[in-house]
Amino acid sequence: MEKIKIGIIGLGTVGTGTVAALRRNRELINKRLGASIEVKRIAVRDIRRPRQVDLPPGILTEAADEIVHDPEIAIVVELIGGIEPARSYILAALRAGKCVVTANKALLAECGQEIYQAAAEAGTEVAFEASVGGGIPIIKTLREALAANRILSLLGIVNGTCNYILTRMTEAGLSFNEALTEAQKAGFAEADPSLDVEGLDSAHKLAILATLAYDTCIPLQEIYVEGITAVEPLDIRFGRELGYVVKLLALSRETDGGIEVRVHPTLVPEGHMLASVREAHNAFYITGDTVGDILLYGQGAGAWPTGSAVCADIIDLARAIRRGKKTRLGPPSFRQPRRLLPMEEVVSRYYFRFSAVDRPGVLSKIAGVLGDHRISIASVIQKGRDEGGSVPIVMITHEAREADVRQALRVVNRLEVVTAATKFIRILEGQHFAPSP
């Protein structure tokens, strides 16, 4: 049986899952592939450290360069994460004529074009299923299964940490800090959770997906990013009363004005499939002009699920290599510039929670300001009184422009009767995402 040799750089969580899966299901993979995958070398920082997977003696090296330049190795698997030295290893491997598999979302979000380009120039391929959504085949679905679709919208719950925290805030009434502490204890959040809870991890993933969905370069810094640290239990409760669940969505859609790319807490209608995605799960809800609505759901992180995706990429490339080819899809098409819609121009419905003194005329004053800014109100909840003598007033708006909303809230927040900065959350409307045919 033909042997295809691979080298792995990095034996952390994902590397361990990958090696363990290749080993456990070796026979099955051989049968499906019609060839055998042999892990020839694994580069690690410290070869003496104990490992959670059985390894043949001598397979570890501290010199990643050996892998990158080994003429027997056909596929280099980069699993160290971060920009450097991952970027240099990948570029060197591609230039040495090797196929590359990577799970490195930060690198692809920041330097994707450079890497896709280098693969194209070398006549080889870079595969990156594991960079987004763990074992969920979102990259394959976008690049292959939906290749005949114009993607009208893509909605993702792409960060398991945030979804776990929001789930616990919703279901157990915890505060953000309580839920974060619990997530850290349960192993769903890092000691320094900022990359997750501030939304940057979600933005990395959205940059990768939107580039594929819209065949254009999506610079990371053009993505509007708002994390979940300011989400309050009170807003989750009001949201539920109104029939919504708060989720951190990574959202991209095509509008007449341009492509929207944004990450922010969102009120998702209870009946929407994304509202059922609980705890650390990830999900992608894609609307294509031909396929209609598709949902992919599963575990978005962890050694095994992510290892499953890395292995799938290795097998895909091995199938091409067996046929004497080093590419199967070619690079994503990203050269056609397209207008990205500035956040100010986004149109959405909004949830507002005003804090105001409990006095006649307050509601009309606030509504007046909104009206002056072309914002019309769909429904209002006003009840209770908090300890400071001020009351929460909750409103759901009809469609409004983000710029108008920001301007209106600046004015509202300066009103004498308003006692604290107004909270607002954007609302996902199902009907905007219906398929066109």
308, HSE (Cβ side, Cα atoms, 13 Å): 13
75 neighbors 318 (Cβ within 8 angstroms)? yes
Q: Which residue from 59, 195, 315, 381 is in contact with a copy of itself, where contact means CB under 8 A?
A: 315
Specify the residue, 28 or 191, whose C-beta has the smaller distance to a copy of itself.
Answer: 28
Report the sign of the C-alpha dihedral through residues 409, 413, 415, 417, in that order. positive
DSSP 273: G
Q: Which residue from 47, 55, 96, 145 is in contact with a copy of itself, where contact means CB under 8 A?
A: 145
289 neighbors 433 (Cβ within 8 angstroms)? no
Q: Find out whether 15 is annotated in a ligand binding site.
A: yes
What three-state secondary structure class fits 43?
A: strand
Specify the residue, 143 or 353, whose C-beta has the smaller distance to a copy of itself.
Answer: 143
DSSP 340: B
Q: Which residue from 9, 19, 22, 179 is in contact with a copy of itself, where contact means CB under 8 A?
A: 22
Specify the residue, 221 or 336, whose C-beta has the smaller distance to a copy of itself.
Answer: 336
Count of residues of this chain found to bind a copy of itself when the rule CB under 8 A is applied: 65
Q: Which of residues 406-435 bind a copy of itself (CB under 8 A)?
A: 435
Q: Which residues, in sequence order, are CB contacts of 353 under 8 Å at separation 6+?
A: 234, 235, 238, 392, 393, 394, 422, 423, 424
Q: Which residue from 29, 92, 154, 207 is in contact with a copy of itself, where contact means CB under 8 A?
A: 29
- Region of 63-71, 140-148, 162-170, 217-225 interacting with a copy of itself (CB under 8 A): 140-148
Q: Find out whether 10 is annotated in a ligand binding site.
A: yes
Q: Find out whether 9 is annotated in a ligand binding site.
A: yes
Q: Which of residues 325-364 bind a copy of itself (CB under 8 A)?
A: 325, 327-330, 333, 336
Identify whether 31 is a catalytic site residue.
Answer: no
Q: Find out whether 190 is annotated in a ligand binding site.
A: yes
Report the sign of the C-alpha dihedral through residues 230, 233, 238, 242, in that order. positive
Q: Find out whether 13 is annotated in a ligand binding site.
A: yes
Alpha helices in 34-173 (DSSP H): 64-68, 86-95, 105-122, 138-140, 160-172
- Measure the CA dihedral 278/280/281/283, to 10°: 90
Among 40, 205, 326, 423, the one annotated catalytic = 205
Could you tell me the two tokens for 355?
A: 């804090």
Which string of b and e fits 372-397 if b means at least 16 CB within 10 Å?
ebebebeeeeeeeeeeeebbbbbbbb
Over the window 93 to 132, marking each residue x when it contacts a copy of itself by CB under 8 A and - when it does not, the resulting string is: ------------------------------------x---
Which residue do the tokens 């679905």 mark? 141
Rg value, the chain, Cα? 24
Q: Which residue from 308, 348, 355, 422 is in contact with a copy of itself, where contact means CB under 8 A?
A: 308
- Region of 14-22, 56-64, 173-181, 415-423 interacting with a copy of itself (CB under 8 A): 14-22
- Write down the least CB distance from residue 115 to a copy of itself, Å: 18
Query: Is residue 7 a contact point for a copy of itself (CB under 8 A)?
Result: no
383: left (phi over 0), alpha (psi -120 to 50) or beta: beta
Specify the residue, 136 or 200, whose C-beta has the smaller distance to a copy of itself.
Answer: 136
Q: Which residue from 140, 168, 253, 426 is in contact with a copy of itself, where contact means CB under 8 A?
A: 140
| Other C-beta atoms lying within 10 Å of the C-beta of residue 73 | 24
Edge-first strand order for the sheet with 36-43 is: 60-61, 36-43, 3-9, 75-78, 99-102, 126-127
Query: Is residue 136 a contact point for a copy of itself (CB under 8 A)?
Result: yes
DSSP 222: G
Specify the residue, 160 or 227, whose C-beta has the smaller distance to a copy of itself.
Answer: 160
Q: Find out whether 222 is annotated in a ligand binding site.
A: no
Q: Which of residues 279-298 bind a copy of itself (CB under 8 A)?
A: 288-298
Residue list for the binding site for NADPH: 105
Residues known to be catalytic? 205
Binding site for a copy of itself (CB under 8 A): 17, 21-22, 24-25, 28-29, 31-34, 129, 134-137, 140-141, 143-150, 215, 273, 276, 288-299, 302, 304-305, 307-309, 311-312, 314-316, 319-320, 323-325, 327-330, 333, 336, 435, 437
Residue list for the binding site for L-homoserine: 190
Residue list for the binding site for NADP(+): 9-16
Residue list for the binding site: 9-16, 105, 190
